[in-house]
Chain A
């Protein structure tokens, strides 16, 4: 960079700008952190002062609350089931749509893509009627089914694009070696699709972990609650006990932040791949 010297003022300007913005972005999170160490009284006196002592009563209270732990595990289960099934269903459909030389497949592809332009909120009223008619309201497996259905269009699209680029030779060789088509799909195709499946899984897990509206409508107040549902309930029950509410948010956000740190690359890849299609 030969223009480095002349750009020095610009560089400093950029650094100052970005750190001011970063401070503004981080402030609400910092407030959550600070206030989770305070007592209710301390927060009432001042929400912006530093905690007088780093006492961990709030954390102990939340972690010993059985509902929190149950919801946490419930959400883990819902995410694991939804994400693994979404990945499987999308890989199967995406592969089929890429390789099936059939008019139906072509039409289906266009129809599935059309779903991307119709947000769930537009047909949620009728969707709940369907869910009720199927007897799936308040059913955790019903919620998982709806999540798979709502979450699969982009994954199917990404899997299809990926499968189109896969060479036919490996698959043909496997068939010649006496593999059945199904063994070939499980043993050859799925492992080949691993990179795109990982990306799809990471984005899907992020979405399901924090999803509220669908869970609220489909699952309602059934038990065990998913984490966002339990947080709404918790907020209603402990209104104004911000020390407990904020600590709850803090603890339940830790796994997702760790997940981001580990899966950063996949998240970025998934977001940009999903946006390019638009």
Chain B
């Protein structure tokens, strides 16, 4: 009996530091965030009133907020679809026999280890100084890519893809290496070419990984903040203002904590529902097999 309580003390104390941090910097903020979203909390003022669903109603009417949902979804859609296709292509090529494979991997991965802030600034240099020079050299009339309403979000997505492609490539390579050589060899002997192998063997076998990468990359890209912050300040006319950027300005520039909390909850619901739908599809697919 005494030994048991001593054990409990030992394991409890081991867990304690993580638990304290967890309660302070996760449980309390999450609960408070939910609560704040139903109040008119303003800045650091300690008194505020319960306003029911007013913040949510305002968000649904607020054109500038709806615009950020649009921009974020567009950005995430482009980055997720093209990014995953690109990462998969890189992985398929780098999984085969190739010279200088390690150098190539490093080239694709280094953008991922750089700070997103630095990535944003470097690309703002590329878009504002390099592209005009390239246009001039080609004799094309120069225009501001980041100032163009239709091009600005795709231009940011290019940077998002450049930054993230190496990360998902690493995951896809690991999945491809997990396919046993016997299966590939057997299919080869049966006369399967590259595309047949890809369509009937490789892609179906790594389908769970594709779903994982889709889920991870959707969540990652929907949280984008640094890129519009460094490259466009949300412009032109709010066209590239993303949700996290909007939450940031609502909370820290306009000081409307309550409204910002409601916007955060809406972002969470969006990410969670896409994740759940993808999870559901993945489960369905596994059951079929």
Q: Which of A17, A18, A35, A97 has the most CB of B within 10 A?
A: A18
A-B contacts counted at CB < 8 A amount to 249
**Contact, CB under 8 Å: A123 / B94:** no
A275 touches B216 (CB 8 A): yes
Q: Please, which residues of chain B bring their CB within 8 A of the CB of A122?
A: 30, 33, 264-265, 267-268, 271
Known: A92-B14, A126-B33, A242-B125. A212 touches B226 (CB 8 A): yes
Q: Which residues of A contact B65 (CB under 8 A)?
A: none
Q: Which residues on the A side are within 8 Å of B15 (C-beta)?
A: 92-93, 96-97, 100, 105, 108
B73 CB to closest chain A CB (Å) equals 16
**In the complex, which residues 14-73 of chain A have their Cβ closer than 8 Å to any Cβ of chain B?**
14-15, 17-19, 21-22, 25-26, 28-29, 31-32, 35, 43, 46-48
Decide if B257 touches A129 in the complex (CB within 8 Å). Answer: yes
Task: Tell me the nearest residue of chain B to A24, going by C-beta.
Answer: B162
CB pair B93–A14 under 8 Å, yes or no, is yes
A181 contacts B10, CB within 8 Å? yes
Q: Given the interface contacts A18-B104, A121-B223, A121-B247, does A249 sit within 8 Å of B33 by beta carbon?
A: no
* Chain A residues in 8 Å Cβ range of B28: 126, 130
Number of A residues, CB within 8 Å of B: 94
> What is the minimal beta-carbon distance from B84 to any residue of chain A, in angstroms?
13
Say whether B11 contacts A47, CB under 8 Å: no
Q: Which of A149, A271, A275 is packed against the most chain B CB atoms within 10 Å?
A: A275
Interface string of A192-205 (1 = CB under 8 A from B): 00000000000000
Q: Give A231 to B165 CA distance when docked, in angstroms.
A: 24
**What A residues does B111 contact at CB under 8 A?**
25, 28-29
Residues of chain B contacted by A1 (CB below 8 angstroms): 97
Interface size class on chain B is 35 or more
| 0/1 string, B119-147, CB within 8 A of A gives 1 | 00111011001100110010000000000
Question: Which residues on the B side are within 8 Å of A128 (C-beta)?
Answer: 251-252
**Is A261 part of the binding interface, using a Cβ–Cβ cutoff of 8 Å?**
yes
**Interface 1/0 per residue, B27-63 and A, CB below 8 Å:** 0111011001000000010000000000000000000
Given contacts A29-B122, A210-B114, A272-B171, 8 further A-B pairs with CB under 8 A are A18-B90, A21-B90, A48-B133, A212-B115, A213-B226, A231-B118, A256-B113, A260-B109
Question: Which residues of A line the B interface, CB within 8 A?
Answer: 1, 3, 7, 10-11, 14-15, 17-19, 21-22, 25-26, 28-29, 31-32, 35, 43, 46-48, 89-90, 92-93, 95-97, 99-100, 102, 105, 108, 111-112, 115, 117-119, 121-130, 132, 134, 145-146, 148-150, 152, 156, 181-182, 185, 206, 209-213, 217, 227-228, 231-232, 235, 242, 245-246, 249, 252-253, 256-257, 259-261, 264, 267-268, 271-272, 275-276, 278
Could you list 14 examples of A-B contacts with CB < 8 Å? A21-B90, A25-B107, A32-B125, A100-B15, A122-B30, A123-B32, A126-B261, A132-B44, A210-B114, A210-B117, A217-B252, A242-B129, A257-B113, A260-B109
User: B: which residues have CB within 8 A of A?
Assistant: 6-8, 10-12, 14-15, 17-19, 21-22, 24-26, 28-30, 32-33, 36, 44, 86, 89-90, 93-94, 96-99, 102, 104, 106-111, 113-118, 121-123, 125-126, 129-130, 133-134, 137, 162, 165, 167, 170-171, 174, 188, 194, 209, 212-213, 215-216, 219, 223, 225-226, 230, 244, 247-248, 251-252, 257, 260-261, 264-265, 267-268, 271-272, 275
